[in-house]
Structure 1
């Protein structure tokens, strides 16, 4: 007789404490350590050092750190001493940075001017699609206007846009819109947070959201969904990793250089606009949800950093 072990309530809650994407990346990292490299778990600091050194000239430093995080998580979760916290591992990473310096690549910010151009093009697409009865094109254009304007004015990351739900979104035309996310990247305690933005006279995220929801006939589930060539809307929310090709396709249709953009471009665009518009660093951090200044400044174009934010800090 086969006995199926049912996870306890505690197990389910513990599993929920680790974000799905993190769990997948950790599993892939552990598989690489054990299968590709031939390591054993639990492991030792010496093995960790040899493993990281083996791939130091092949993998990005961020990838190496992710591998270390996966190993640390496995040992801590299973009650073993964490071999990644030894001083020798920190020294190794310092040496790798010195020998293999790499300039950090950042996505180009989506400037407000380009947002205006994209929305104008999409509105024209929607009008043409309505005229000829092309429901798929009408829905895609309507969705993409909402995606761009909400993403920009709220400074959302790609995974945050993907996790927005209709149940946790409250929009009032000509007034404003509120989003609630149960957890975010910087929310280690999973307290959740509400994000608000007002109605605007132009490029309005409130109007864009309501127009999309009404056109799609949605009343629950994910706000943003995939749409096939026949105009069928997926029952599931769009996956975070699919936002980059979706965004590039949208901006490419609008005549913008789509290859320079990523899912972070919308967030960087807003941060750069806010800085150039005179927002101080504290206001920007509170609005977007950054907990430290380095995170904020990574998203702001250097000209705006030193032209506005730093002066305000020093003043």
Structure 2
């Protein structure tokens, strides 16, 4: 790979690149289209999958086709008036409510952490090293993901070298890139220590137990308790979270890794955070995106709060 190709590749996120490759393959192989495409073939492709694929998936397919044509120096057929009109018609005839992850309610966060702590005690007493490591890791991942409002890919990319944690005080970590950091300037995040459900204490306990000094914070653990050198894959966080929730007695069918982010946003909104502070803390640039998280909260009427609550940033 040349230096030019390396920088061009770095300009696009890995997840986006994989999604685009899959979309192009679907157009060419599954549907039988040809590239470069015409506006007529793109319109017929949309019609073929209207009502079959979601609006968001069709939008992704159009973005992938546009990117392919632009990168290859061809005219973009997705911008043709006919394609735009067909897509508008599909949205009108196949409206679909956007599916959102179930927010992890605070009492469920407390329940799952309580179960994990019992699991840690039991594993330590039985000298079950693999079970001890997994429970300690999962507690840190869930608490940090909730109180920091992180996406799964952000959690999986946290590096020990970029984290400063002081027990009883707080944690500061740096992410070189994230979905909301469009310019790849890097973002620094902070979270205070709490008296209960503390992400700082959980992080320190995990790093200490696993004897980690560099590399990914959250990584795989095999059946013998050996830690992977690589970080967890973002797609594995859903299965991890659901498994822990189920074992803690919480039906987990509608939970995803996004449930941590949605849960924190809903809690913060009901705890009196103004939208500007919440957007700044979580990293939203667009108010419309933020409102999707806080407009329907399951926390109305709840009285439970940790002894030391997270406060909005100044």
Which TM-score band applies after superposition, normalised by the shorter structure? over 0.9
Corresponding residue of 1:261: 255
Corresponding residue of 2:35: 41
Corresponding residue of 1:310: none
Q: Which consecutive unaligned segments of at least 5 residues does structure 1 have?
A: 1-6, 308-315
Equivalences for 1:154-173 in 2 at 5 Å?
A: 154-173=148-167
Q: Secondary structure of the equivalent of 2:91?
A: helix
Q: Secondary structure of the equivalent of 2:160?
A: coil
The structure 2 residue matched to 1:132, chosen from 126, 132, 147, is: 126
The structure 2 residue matched to 1:67, chosen from 42, 56, 61, is: 61
Query: What CA distance in whole angstroms lies between the structure 1 residues aligned with 2:165 and 2:79?
Result: 47
Deviation of the 1:292 alpha carbon? 0.8
Corresponding residue of 2:177: 183
Deviation of the 1:306 alpha carbon? 10
Corresponding residue of 1:280: 274
The normalised TM-score by structure 2 is 0.92
Corresponding residue of 1:83: 77
Count of aligned positions: 301
Q: Secondary structure of the equivalent of 1:39?
A: coil
The structure 1 residue matched to 2:216, chosen from 206, 222, 225, is: 222
> Aligned-pair RMSD on alpha carbons?
1.6
- 1:105 maps onto 2:99 in alignment: yes
Deviation of the 1:175 alpha carbon? 1.5
Moved more, 270-279 or 289-298: 289-298
The structure 1 residue matched to 2:11, chosen from 17, 34, 51, is: 17
Deviation string 1:124-158 (CA, Å, 9 cap, x unpaired) is 11011101101111111101110111001100011
Deviation string 1:195-247 (CA, Å, 9 cap, x unpaired) is 11111111111111110011011111111111122212111100001111100
Task: Indicate conservation of the 8 Å contact 2:37/2:77, yes or no.
Answer: yes
The structure 1 residue matched to 2:135, chosen from 129, 134, 141, is: 141
Query: What CA distance in whole angstroms lies between the structure 2 residues aligned with 1:60 and 1:202?
Result: 41
Task: Indicate conservation of the 8 Å contact 2:105/2:298, yes or no.
Answer: no
Query: What CA distance in whole angstroms lies between the structure 1 residues aligned with 2:288 and 2:55?
Result: 18
Task: Indicate conservation of the 8 Å contact 1:276/1:304, yes or no.
Answer: no
Query: What CA distance in whole angstroms lies between the structure 2 residues aligned with 1:217 and 1:268?
Result: 31
Moved more, 241-250 or 291-300: 291-300
The normalised TM-score by structure 1 is 0.92
The structure 2 residue matched to 1:152, chosen from 146, 159, 163, is: 146
Query: What CA distance in whole angstroms lies between the structure 2 residues aligned with 1:253 and 1:305?
Result: 23
Query: What CA distance in whole angstroms lies between the structure 2 residues aligned with 1:116 and 1:237?
Result: 26
Query: What CA distance in whole angstroms lies between the structure 1 residues aligned with 2:158 and 2:47?
Result: 40
Deviation of the 1:165 alpha carbon? 1.1
Corresponding residue of 1:311: none
Query: What CA distance in whole angstroms lies between the structure 2 residues aligned with 1:135 and 1:193?
Result: 35
Q: Secondary structure of the equivalent of 2:235?
A: helix
